[in-house]
Structure 1
Amino acid sequence: MDATIYHNPACGTSRNTLALIRHAGIEPKVIEYLQTPPSREELAQMIREAGLSVREAIREKGTPYAELGLDDPALSDNQLLTAMLEHPILINRPFVITPIGTRLARPSEAVLDILPADAFKGPFVKEDGEAVLDAEGRRIA
């Protein structure tokens, strides 16, 4: 299965998502979006396919969100997209694209919705020790 992850290696959620994809036996195309941001069209398409609004795809924590005044509800989607492309740290992460769908994998186990259910053969535990998959590879509720 083809998969692409817009990844930030400094982000635990992004690292856990990448590890889950690999646990499914898939080696995704990894795009470190801070160095190689998506185009405006790619970003808009990912947001749309993930079922999010542009505002929902913006990361506030640890970004220049407040300093740039992006909390202004009068800003258009185009203005928000421009800010995200000028400051890629504003792009929430990680976005994952597979033939099954596109997700903003927050929390990381949201990626399970777009990976083959039968791909997991054993347990998976996040970096912080939280169990995500049981010994049979089934999602833990």
Structure 2
Amino acid sequence: MSAITIYHNPQCGTSRNVLALIRHCGIEPTVIHYLENPPDETTLRDLLAKMAIGPQQLLRRNVAPYHDLGLDNDNISDEQIIAAMLQQPILINRPIVITEKGCKLCRPSEAVLDILPVALPAVFYKEDGEAIYPR
């Protein structure tokens, strides 16, 4: 089985659920705590390209740096967003999962099932008790 990588924030419930869901499938991924080990510019741009999304779609809006850096301005450029994400990694939405089947921002957490190399073996329960059933 090929490697799986998750850009993870253990303080985020969705990120914890995705990591637990991957492990529930019998896979131990490479875990990158992206706040402590943020992606460099090349890696960030590569992730965006692999996900086929723009910086606006990866931008977290519910954190202080979003407003503090003026990212709520309608005229903000993609380059400015990328620069802000590199300066303040908390602005990068998560979790991002990379598998042999693709790279995806996994929100909601069950979105990871689209790119896992194995099927969900049994029902999985999120932290809040919500069930995710095998497809």
Structure-1-length-normalised TM-score: 0.90
Aligned ranges 1:96-107 → 2 under 5 Å: 96-107=97-108
Q: Measure, in 2, the Cα distance between the counterparts of 1:34 and 1:22.
A: 21
Q: Which residue of 1 aligns with 2:94?
A: 93
Displacement of 1:78 after TM fit? 1.6
Q: Measure, in 2, the Cα distance between the counterparts of 1:101 and 1:63.
A: 31
SS of the aligned residue for 2:19 comes to helix
Runs of 4+ in 1 over 3 A off after TM superposition: none
- With 45-54 and 79-88 compared, the bigger mean Cα shift is at 45-54
Letter in 2 for 1:45: D
**8 Å contact 1:13–1:106 — kept in the other structure?**
yes
Displacement of 1:62 after TM fit? 2.5
- With 71-80 and 122-131 compared, the bigger mean Cα shift is at 71-80
Q: Which residue of 2 aligns with 1:17?
A: 18
Q: Measure, in 1, the Cα distance between the counterparts of 2:116 and 2:96.
A: 13
Displacement of 1:13 after TM fit? 0.2
Q: Does 1:109 align with 2:110?
A: yes
**8 Å contact 2:99–2:117 — kept in the other structure?**
no
Q: Which residue of 1 aligns with 2:128?
A: 128
Displacement of 1:117 after TM fit? 4.2
Q: Measure, in 2, the Cα distance between the counterparts of 1:51 and 1:102.
A: 9
Q: Measure, in 2, the Cα distance between the counterparts of 1:82 and 1:121.
A: 41
Letter in 2 for 1:132: I
Label 1:78 to 1:99 Cα distance change in 2 as closer, same or farther (>3 A). same
Q: Measure, in 2, the Cα distance between the counterparts of 1:110 and 1:54.
A: 19
Q: Measure, in 2, the Cα distance between the counterparts of 1:66 and 1:39.
A: 23
- Percent of paired sites with the same residue: 54
Aligned ranges 1:1-141 → 2 under 5 Å: 1-118=2-119, 120-133=120-133, 138-139=134-135
Structure-2-length-normalised TM-score: 0.94
Give the aligned CA root-mean-square deviation in angstroms: 1.2
Count matched residues: 134
